[in-house]
Amino acid sequence: MNKISLATLFFILSIGYCLAQQPDLITVNESFLDKQQKSMIVLGSWALGNVVLGSIYTSGSTGSQRYFHQMNMGWNAVNLGIAAFGYYQAFRTDPGSWELAESIRQNYSLEKILLLNSGLDLAYMASGVWMMEKAKNTSKNPERWKGFGQSLILQGAFLLVFDLATFAIHSADNHNLDNLIGQLHFSGSALQLSLKF
């Protein structure tokens, strides 16, 4: 094998190695969508479990426990719908259909939603505490206030952990988008993609 053939082979292998080290956009998008599907499975499993247990225990319980299970069932019927829709959207999205700008927009949008939801989760929990306090000071159906309040605290706590964990899992891959963005250079008249070896 002569020196030119050896140098050409080395160059080709070096390019392949460097490209393998940097995730491409489709790989980044696949990872994003896979994480979305898995997070919707977690949310859907929690919701389904609450709907099933809520329907079982509502008929067999009384007082605040009955209202607790009713609220869990109703709250999670909505969560189940959200999880099913979110899973379907992530499943049907082609990871090759997003350009870099759309990938950034999707990631940024999801992170904003998760942080906003985390604030709402705290509000749900605070509302639950308020409802439980109201149950102590009212003669008009205190069991309902207490049961609904307990449910809001539980559901808000789960959603807070879920939203923050999902945020952390998604934001852990932000460096992959940063690497892709870092390969772009604008000279004023042309956009260039540079690969580092």
Q: Which of 107, 149, 155 is nearest to 132 (CA)?
A: 149
The pLDDT of residue 155 is 97
Q: Residue 147, CB half-sphere, CA atoms under 13 Å: how many?
A: 22
Residue percentage of the chain with pLDDT more than 90 = 61
More confidently predicted of 99 and 40: 40
Q: What is the pLDDT of residues 11-50, one digit of tens each?
A: 555 444 444 444 688 888 899 999 999 999 999 999 999 9
Q: What's the CA gap between 174 and 59, in Å, rounded?
A: 47
Q: Which of 89, 66, 70, 75 is nearest to 46 (CA)?
A: 75
Which of the four pLDDT bands, split at 50, 70 and 90, describes residue 3? low
Q: What is the pLDDT of residues 172-194, one digit of tens each?
A: 877 666 566 555 445 555 444 44
Q: What is the pLDDT of residues 43-81, one digit of tens each?
A: 999 999 999 999 999 988 899 999 999 999 999 999 999
Q: What's the CA gap between 184 and 7, in Å, rounded?
A: 28
**Apex CA 182: angle with CA 196 and CA 114, to 5°?**
135
66, 147 in Cβ contact below 8 A?
yes
> Backbone phi, then psi, for 193, in 5-degree steps?
-110, 120
Q: Which of 36, 120, 156 is nearest to 84 (CA)?
A: 36
Tell me if the pTM is above 0.95. Answer: no
Average pLDDT for the chain: 84
158, 46 in Cβ contact below 8 A?
yes
The pLDDT of residue 192 is 46
